[in-house]
Amino acid sequence: MTKIDDVARLAGVSTATVSRALRGLPTVSQATRERVLEAAAQLGYIASPSASRLAGGKTRAVAVVVPRITPWFFSTVVEAAEERLHQAGYDLLLFNLGGSEHARQRLLYTSTLHRRVDALMLVATPLAGRDFAAVTRLGLPGVTVSAGTPVPGWPCVRIDDVAAARAATEHLLALGHRRIAHISGDSSDELAISTHIDRRRGFQERLRAYGIEPDPALDVEATFTIAGGRGATAELLRRGEPPTAIFAASDEMAMGAIATLREAGLRVPEDVSVIGVDDHDVSGVVGLTTVAQPAAAQGRLAAEALLGPLRGAGDGPASPSVVLPTRLVVRDSTAPPRAD
Amino acid sequence: MTKIDDVARLAGVSTATVSRALRGLPTVSQATRERVLEAAAQLGYIASPSASRLAGGKTRAVAVVVPRITPWFFSTVVEAAEERLHQAGYDLLLFNLGGSEHARQRLLYTSTLHRRVDALMLVATPLAGRDFAAVTRLGLPGVTVSAGTPVPGWPCVRIDDVAAARAATEHLLALGHRRIAHISGDSSDELAISTHIDRRRGFQERLRAYGIEPDPALDVEATFTIAGGRGATAELLRRGEPPTAIFAASDEMAMGAIATLREAGLRVPEDVSVIGVDDHDVSGVVGLTTVAQPAAAQGRLAAEALLGPLRGAGDGPASPSVVLPTRLVVRDSTAPPRAD
DNA sequence: CTGAAAGCGCTTACAG
DNA sequence: CTGAAAGCGCTTACAG
């Protein structure tokens, strides 16, 4: 492997100059720079990242943490962030929590992240009280996406979950529904993420605005997946008279709900209306009514929010938080309740 | 930041011994190891990865390259690989080609991968003639998943694409279809991946076994996405009399086909049958007939295939290739052709 | 089983 | 604008 000394020798300069020239620092004369570039090209020289990192103190890598990889929202955020990050010359280390508390602990309380990256992107990652200290101790710039838990001093890129839930619920209420169920994420314990809490809040808020007291029997918690939506809907049907409409906190949950309703002999939307949140790629195929959120934009903006402080050597001010707009997309899974 | 010298001083040993004790090397006495462990714990010491990498020559990181992140197959492979890799203590650097030749070139012909990882996982990554030299020059153990292009000396984890296509086509033929269209990936140029070629081959093979000569007008190329399936189907309808059945090379393409057929006023399966490959999470919701392939298992096994050579210091023999089984899953999107 | 010393391959003040 | 030298924080023969 050719090293910096080889290039220095061939170009007839010091290694310090090679280092400067190759990194594009301004304090190198045009002539010298050209000589170095040519020597490097001729030898096929590429600096060792490990050596650069050790000497320079920067890893040029960012850790992206997601609760799952496959769901539409997360994979879309990662895809968008990946593009922006690589374009800016940063490596992307991917960490999946997979819903396992063990993985979460490993990430926060072992050497997993220690000096491995220059910045952190936490996507819908739940943090309990003591976890903030662990995150802060890393001393890195960071950003949260789709507020798992807001980290003090970090910007957050997200949608207004309360408003999104309000829009979905309002759509069902305006159609005439009064017996509306909600399928959402777990918002009971310390690790609940604000997304779940906010979507439930928006739902209940609209209900109360119509003089309806939220019925605990019509509120089921599940994971943000098709399987979660299936299970929650089965539970709902088990509890007695089905609702006339279901507001699911994600499109994947909504699709699971539709599948289970149909298997139970109920028609959508004739017997039960279903609305989700996301505007998943397949929602158009399924004809699912939903509140669309811009996932790719969130990934892109989150990466962008990191690049500022990263370029500013970690000292610059944190980027501002941003709240992106959502939009009701009416398709075929919602309709007025049956007249009977 | 505490460094190895601090630990050595506190434990009353040399840094060499600290290094050995912390990494669990056998050549350290029990008593010494305990003293070192305690000192390290007391100081909250974690070795600098950059320093370890430079001194040790190993990065303990693996690069995973995918053509896209969001599609079901790729996100599922990545999720499974991530779990296995992190469990084994390796970082996962994610690279998305995104269908861009520029990204592909950057990955292969710049410093992107150089000395950054100890191994490579190429998922459905197309390689042209000269690219093999670029990959080989990295001198790393590797594995391909879902054969983009087989790399000499690397194991490949995949399904039998010819057999999967045969099973799908046979299902349609057995139902009585004779006018069957195929929507597949681009298999025309040098960068075509074997998946596309093999699925088309299995399709044509079965057709010919029934005495049917494949009709170019019923063969459309597209990307492996819902949008791709939509576009291809629109093109198919534009070309004249619709087929009575469509074999799409992926479930996402199949879903796009279904959406476009319905928008054109055609019923599925009454007017047109549609079958895919994958068994995507939502295929059950949509009622899509498909040839199921185990995506998570492929990701897991590919990671496993890397861990062998990785532990063997990169010299051990390559892991064996593996071909996983597929399975026809009949749902509601396929039926006999109309009698008329 | 343990230590002194060299080495991994860069970058960064410092001096000029 | 450029160079000599120290330093980044580990691991690895080598010797004992």
Rounded Cα distance between B181 and B274, Å, is 9
pLDDT 10s digits, B24-61: 999 999 999 999 999 999 999 999 999 999 999 999 99
**Region A218-226: what's the mean pLDDT?**
93
Provide the percentage of residues in chain B whose pLDDT is more than 90. Answer: 85
Of A228, A292, A282, A233, the residue nearest A257 (C-alpha): A233
* A282 close contact with B: CB closer than 8 A: yes
CB contact under 8 A, B50 and A94: no
Using pLDDT thresholds of 50, 70 and 90, give the confidence band for residue A315: low
Q: Which residues pair with A143 in a beta bridge?
A: A121
| Residues 8-37 (A) with a CB less than 8 A from some CB of B | none
Categorize the per-residue pLDDT at A191 as very low, low, confident or very high, splitting at 50, 70 and 90.
confident
B250 contacts chain A (CB < 8 A): no
Q: What is the DSSP letter of B57?
A: S
* pLDDT beyond 60 at B5: yes
Please give residues of chain A from 35 to 64 whose alpha-adjacent beta carbon (CB) lies under 7 Å from any atom of strand D: 51, 54-55
Distance in angstroms (rounded) separating the CA atoms of residues A54 and A51: 5
The whole-number pLDDT of residue B163 equals 97
Q: B240 versus B289: which is more confidently predicted?
A: B289
Q: Do A95 and B82 touch (CB under 8 A)?
A: yes
Q: Tell me: the pLDDT tens digits for B81-111?
A: 999 999 999 999 999 999 889 999 999 998 8
Q: Which residues touch A146 (CB under 8 Å, ≥6 apart)?
A: A73, A77, A123, A124, A157, A158, A159, A195, A298
Q: For residues B67 and A82, is the Cβ–Cβ distance under 8 A? A: no
Q: Which of A142-146, B75-79, B186-190, B322-326 shows the lowest per-residue confidence on average (mean pLDDT)? A: B186-190
- Better-predicted residue by pLDDT, A76 or A313: A76
Place of tokens 């000395």: B115
Measure CB to CB from residue A282 to each of B46, B48, B255 and give the nearest one.
B255
Model confidence at A65, pLDDT cuts 50, 70, 90, reads very high
Residue A314 has pLDDT above 70, yes or no: no
Q: What mean pLDDT do residues B211-228 have?
A: 94
- Contact at 8 Å (CB) between A322 and A155? yes
Q: Average pLDDT, whole number, for chain A?
A: 94
Contact flag A70-B68 (C-beta cutoff 8 Å): no
Residue, of B187 and B220, whose pLDDT is higher: B220
Tell me, what's the pLDDT at B186? 81
Instruction: Mention every residue, 6+ apart, whose C-beta is less than 8 A from residue A50.
Output: B50, B53, B54, B59, B115
Contact B116, A52 (CB under 8 A): no
pLDDT at A317: 67
What is the least distance, in Å, from the CA of B92 to any CA of chain A?
6
User: Which residues 45-64 of B have a C-beta within 8 angstroms of A?
Assistant: 46-51, 53-54, 59, 61
pLDDT digits (tens, 9 = 90+) for B239-268: 999 999 999 999 999 999 999 999 999 999
Rounded Cα–Cα distance for residues B57 and A178 (Å): 65
Residue nearest to nucleotide D3 (CA to C1'): A14
The answer to whether B246 and B180 have CB atoms below 8 angstroms apart is yes
Mean of pLDDT values over A254-258:
97
Tell me which of A180-184, A335-339, B189-193, B197-201 is least confident.
Answer: B189-193
Rounded to whole angstroms, the Cα distance separating A309 from A296 reads: 21
Separation of alpha carbons B340 and B337, rounded Å: 9
Contact A281 B82 (CB under 8 A): no
From the CA of A18, how many Å to the C1' of C16?
19
pLDDT score recorded for residue B317: 67
Amino acid symbol at A32: T
C-beta separation of B232 from B194 below 8 A: no
The whole-number pLDDT of residue A187 equals 79
Tokens encoding A15: 């290694």
What's the pLDDT score for residue A316? 60
- The predicted model gives B148-177 an average pLDDT of 94
- A188 band by pLDDT with thresholds 50, 70 and 90: confident
Q: Check if residue B68 sits with its Cβ under 7 angstroms from strand D.
A: no
Instruction: Tell whether the torsion through CA atoms of B132, B137, B141 and B142 is positive or negative.
Output: negative
On the question of a cis peptide bond just before residue B336, with omega within 30 degrees of 0, the verdict is no
A313 touches strand C (CB under 7 A): no
Name the least confident of A125-134, A329-338, B27-36, B147-156: B147-156
Record: contact B94-A78, CB cut-off 8 A: yes
Q: What is the mean pLDDT of residues A187-199?
A: 85
Helix (H/G/I), strand (E/B), else coil: A264: coil
Q: How far is A187 from chain B (nearest CA, A)?
A: 25
For residue B316, what pLDDT is reported? 60
Q: Give the N- to C-terminal CA distance of chain A in Å, as an integer.
A: 80
Tell which residue, B94, B4, B122, has the closest CA to residue B56.
B4
Tell me if chain A has a CB within 8 Å of the CB of B285: yes
* Contact in structure between B124 and B102 (CB atoms under 8 Å): no
Average pLDDT over residues B162-170: 98
Question: How distant is C1' of C11 from CA of B91, in Å?
Answer: 25
Strands B91-96 and A180-184 turn out to be: unpaired
3-state DSSP: chain B helix, strand, coil percent, rounded to 5? 45, 15, 40
Alpha carbon of residue A278 to chain centroid:
12
Q: In the complex, which nucleotide's C1' lies nearest to the CA atom of residue B31?
A: C1
The mean per-residue pLDDT over the stretch A40-60 comes to 95
Chain B, 104 to 133: residues with Cβ < 8 Å from chain A are: 106, 111-112, 114-116
Residue B296 contacts A where some CB pair is shorter than 8 Å: no
- Smallest CA-to-CA distance from A298 within A190, A185, A143 is with A143
